[in-house]
Amino acid sequence: MSVDRRLVAGVDSSTQSCKVVIVDPSTGGILRSGSAPHPAGTEVDPEAWWSALQQAVSEAGGFADVAAVSISGQQHGLIALDRHGQVIRDALLWNDLRSDGAARALIAEIGADEFVDRAGVVPVASFTGAKLRWLRDHEPDNASRVAAVALPHDWLTWRLLGHGPSSSSALRGPDLEALVTDASDASGTAYFSAVTGRYDLDLFRAAFGAPAREATGSTTTGSTTDGSPATDELGPTTAPIVLPRVLAPHESAGHTPEGILVGPGAGDNAAAALGLGAAPGDVIISIGTSGTVFSPTRLEINDSSGMVAGFASADGGRLPLVATLNAARVLDSAAALLRASHTDVAALALASSPGANGLTLVPYFEGERTPNLPSATARLEGMTLANSTPENVARAFVEGMLCGLADGLDAVLRQGVKVQRLFLIGGAARNPAVREVARDIFTVPIDVPEQAEYVAIGAARQAAWTLTGTSPRWQVELVATLHPRPSQVRQQYHSYTNTNVIDATRPAHENSDNDHRRSSGAQAPVEG
């Protein structure tokens, strides 16, 4: 008896785990879900991701009734494949910073302004281009075998389509021409232009020292990527490196061997924007291990400081994004310092008042990327005998973390992006003190959606879009709408960070005397 395939599935293959949601495309309601953990570390065998995907699908009840699926994934990671489709070495993830020197070298050779003009970003250690340079310089034997370069979501889509190394049981074999990606993920490589929607192959050559070309999408079973006969030798590859074919926002990548339609996929932040149904005027602040501030827009983004990455969105527009290194783990540090649970830290913070009675945390525990201060450390400022209480310390930690994200918001808005409301998401958004203190930090209304897997939901929405040709409108349930209240918290914070205050609600030209890039000391970022 055949099963009616009418549902859609979305996959979030993140750093920590793989999550799958099965969704009713007519309502957006999640019917089933599953998850599986990923190995820890900054370099991982991609086969572990493939195993986790299969486990998560099984936990979600399988795909027997699924008509379409799309995969979103962690950005920037480097997967290098040989001519037989075999992974050459463990994938280097976004948080592997060994390529810091390589990023610096690329900036020195090309120039920050040139990179921004051509790729919308200034290279940092996280980006794929920097990792390719590191591979070229530090593992030349591995580099000489590279026949194709893929990102995590590209490779998983390829496997889902039935492809894989010749040594595997993949039904459709190691067809590198079948590799696909989308603009949102490709724009995090530092060799793709969100403006033109095309790879900058000269930037790829500058990074890796070898020519490249986009995959054709044709079948070349039994051949190497240049059409010559495949061999069993693992010697150097001389043909141009294959880069995944860039699909349009709802263009089909093909079908699985079981007949399920596969969407183009997306980078994780772009998928989250889709999952939230964010539109121009919405800015998303995500507080996880790192913090991100991003907004869908149709504007061209050009920030030579490198603070704002000019990524592409998953709907054909732009997704300017700022990342901060110090986010939810600031609250972990508060809990450790105060020897209290996160619940107790929240209660302590709420027992204090805005400004923590003059106590300020500069939250650069891991250096910082926005502003660019890679060697900075955290510090408590303004301490007196009167204000050195657990309540004020807890409040200062929450305020410092949110002020750092507000600086990221300022940087995005300086690019001309307008804001009407904020979405506050991520694990820390559940913290009642974070929600309450946010009212003192931000100057526009803040919507807090219910806790959900918005990256996976966004991938499912893309799958539905690919299936029907129309992007569905799904309801996003809110648990709170927070209204701002005037305070001096950010002014107090900036008195210790030497960063001029910029009113995020005023047009950029009205803030022209407060050059955010100059006052923050930001140069090209050097941390991932």
Catalytic residue from among 90, 154, 268, 410: 268
Instruction: Tell whether 75 is in a known binding site.
Output: yes
Q: What is the DSSP string of 85-112?
A: S-B-SPEEPTT-GGGHHHHHHHHHHH-H
Spatial distance between the Cα atoms of 426 and 453, rounded to a whole number of angstroms: 9
Q: What is the DSSP string of 123-178?
A: --TTSHHHHHHHHHHH-HHHHHT--EEE-HHHHHHHHHTT---TTS--TT---GGG
Any idea what DSSP says for residue 317?
S
Please answer whether residues 227 and 147 qualify as being in contact, where contact means their C-beta atoms are separated by less than 8 angstroms. no
Please answer whether residues 134 and 102 qualify as being in contact, where contact means their C-beta atoms are separated by less than 8 angstroms. yes
Please answer whether residues 276 and 425 qualify as being in contact, where contact means their C-beta atoms are separated by less than 8 angstroms. yes
Helices and strands per DSSP (H, E), number in the chain: 16, 26
- How far from chain centre, in Å, is Cα 521? 24
Instruction: Tell whether 488 is in a known binding site.
Output: no
Task: Compute the CA torsion angle 428, 432, 436, 437 (nearest 10 deg).
Answer: -50
Tokens standing for 476? 């996003």
Cα angle 294, 295, 297; round to 5:
140
Under the phi-then-psi rule, with left for phi > 0, alpha for psi from -120 to 50, and beta for the rest, what region is 230? beta
Helix residue spans in 172-327 (DSSP H): 183-186, 201-208, 268-276
**Residue 268 designated active-site:** yes
Q: Is the dihedral of CA 143, 86, 9, 178 positive or negative?
A: positive
End-to-end CA distance of the chain: 51
Q: What is the DSSP string of 77-88?
A: -BEEE-TTS-B-
Residues forming beta bridges with residue 70, ordered by sequence position = 10
Where b means 16+ CB within 10 Å and e means fewer, 384-393 reads eeebebbbbb
The helix or strand, by DSSP H or E, that contains position 441, with its residue range, turns out to be helix 432-441
Spatial distance between the Cα atoms of 65 and 452, rounded to a whole number of angstroms: 22
State the catalytic residues: 268
Which residues are known binding-site members? 75-76
Give the residue numbers of the binding site for substrate: 75-76
